[in-house]
Amino acid sequence: MASMTIRNVDEQLKARLRVQAALHGRSMEEEARDILRSALSAVSGRSGSLVETIRARIEPLGGMELDIAPRETMREPPDFDA
């Protein structure tokens, strides 16, 4: 099992963690592990593709029609034999 040290924690945040741990009847360390476990498991619960995620964010803003540029004729491929 790995260990981790977190430095420069605000005193007020540490006090809140201590109170929350006491309310749940566990140590501050176990409370911090549970908070990390919960936060990180919520991220992995996402489903769908990147395209669907972007569309869900942008679609409510409305859309726009873009003019498609006309295609030009293809140029002749270069002749490397000359």
The predicted-structure confidence for 36-56, as pLDDT tens digits, reads as follows: 998 888 755 566 789 888 888
* pTM of the complete model: 0.52
| Structure tokens given for 10 | 């605000």
Residues of the chain falling short of pLDDT 70? 43-47
Q: How far is CA 1 from the centre of its chain?
A: 26
* Single-letter code of the amino acid located at 20: Q
